[in-house]
Amino acid sequence: MGSTAILALADGTVFKGKAFGAPKTTTVGEVVFNTSMTGYQEILTDPSYASQIVTLTYPHIGNYGTNDEDVESSAIWAMGLIIRDLSIVSSNFRSTKSLSDFLCEHKKPGIYGIDTRMLTRLIREKGAQNGCLSTDPKMTAEKAVKLAQGFAGIKGMDLAKVVTTDKVYTWTEGTWELGRGYVNTARTEFNVVAYDFGIKRNILRLLADRGCKVTVVPATTPAKDVIKMNPDGVFLSNGPGDPEPCTYAQDAIREFLKKKIPVFGICLGHQ
């Protein structure tokens, strides 16, 4: 941690900072920003950020560390993390490892010490750009720019198929409570089928808190299979990528509407 790192954008803009997270690692993706003051662990593990390199606009990041409970999925889906100041000390009674160690564990690079305000303004004015983030000391600015320009981008990419579950499962876990952790819900008034286009665990927990027995199905599950479950409603989850190629989801939704089954969605599922 602390060796040179490079962030290069497809338009030729290059930022040099310090490396943290996975060493000697190079990734490419769409560079975006998030304005949250906290929740960096949830952001990194949110499947909606698949194939994206995330910039956090809040300047001081990492001060409360990470833990095994606050993840939104089993992996870091973001391709890398860009921050202004990295907290050297992690202080929180729930913390089990530092942010840098968390990134290392998942083989994802990070860069700190760059002007994130300048980067955010550039993205805001020009739109999201493809980029290359490298913690490899041998990486040159010229090569990083070429790698950024070589990334095809997420337009037209069906990333829901990449991040979705490969099997059907039932979710009953509610939200976290101090002294109890995550508590299984005691009441199940509604039978809800949730399509996993990249669903976050906390969305499932909130549904469980409200009395829903949630059955999570893969993104490409045919409507006829869901209709057999006799759902009170169908939930279309958040997820990454371009909704246009998700024709399988569009076909399923048409069938639900024909059967007058309530359908609700967020993020990709709402698009």
CATH class label, 160-270: alpha beta
Residues across the chain: 271
What pLDDT, on a 0 to 100 scale, did the predictor assign at position 1? 61
Tens of pLDDT, residue by residue, the chain (271 residues): 669 999 999 999 999 999 999 999 999 999 999 999 999 999 999 999 999 999 999 999 999 999 999 999 999 999 999 999 999 999 999 999 999 999 999 999 999 999 999 999 999 998 889 999 999 999 999 999 999 999 999 888 899 999 999 999 999 998 888 888 888 876 788 999 999 999 999 999 999 999 999 999 999 999 999 999 999 999 999 999 888 888 999 999 999 999 999 999 998 877 7
What pLDDT, on a 0 to 100 scale, did the predictor assign at position 243? 85
Q: Where are the domains of the chain?
A: 4-150, 160-270
Q: Which two tokens stand for residue 233?
A: 């409603």
Q: What is the dihedral of CA 6, 78, 152, 265, to 10 degrees?
A: -150
Rounded distance between C-alpha atoms, residue 52 and residue 30, angstroms: 5
Number of DSSP helices (H) and strands (E) in the chain, helices first: 8, 16
Tell me the C-alpha to C-alpha distance, in Å, between residue 248 and each of 114, 156, 227, 245, 255. 42, 14, 15, 8, 11
3-state class (DSSP) for residue 217: strand
What pLDDT, on a 0 to 100 scale, did the predictor assign at position 36? 96
4-150: CATH topology: Glucose Oxidase; domain 1 (3.50.30)
Q: Which two tokens stand for residue 24?
A: 């000697």
